[in-house]
Amino acid sequence: METGKKLNGYKRIRFCDYQEYESGRHNNGGCYGFWTDYENMGNRTWEVSYGTTADFSYCPVCGRFDDHYEGEENLYDSGYSCGEYKTVTDAELLQLINDFEETDDEYIEYTE
């Protein structure tokens, strides 16, 4: 993405990290792919969540291998005991994009 490009029009921006990914071992063999999603919440705000190719429990709120989901009984609106989803502003996300150096294994996907 060009420096200074606007983010309006995008629903999700995904930072992918497949440096350790290995086909055939990407679900339970220790060679996983990871990503960080930024979902457009409107009002120049983006909600941050995390994912992996692993078959193990992985928390979308904190990005750790663990199942923190406790549902509506939880203290946090997210339902996860580790806290709420983080948010970033357009300016913060643009800075992350502009500072990111893409490679074959680390790249950004844009969804309109």
- The 10s digit of each residue's pLDDT in 5-64 is 578 789 999 999 999 998 888 888 888 999 999 999 999 999 999 999 999 899 999 999
pLDDT at residue 59 in the model: 95
Tokens for 11?
A: 């629903």
The domain locations on the chain are 12-111
What amino acid occupies position 49?
S
Structure tokens at 1: 């993405």
Note the pLDDT of residue 5. 57
Condensed to tens digits (0 to 9), the pLDDT of residues 52-100 reads 999 989 999 999 999 889 988 888 999 999 999 999 999 999 999 999 9
Q: Which helix (H) or strand (E) holds 91?
A: helix 90-99
Instruction: Classify residue 7 as left (phi > 0), alpha (psi -120 to 50) or beta.
Output: alpha
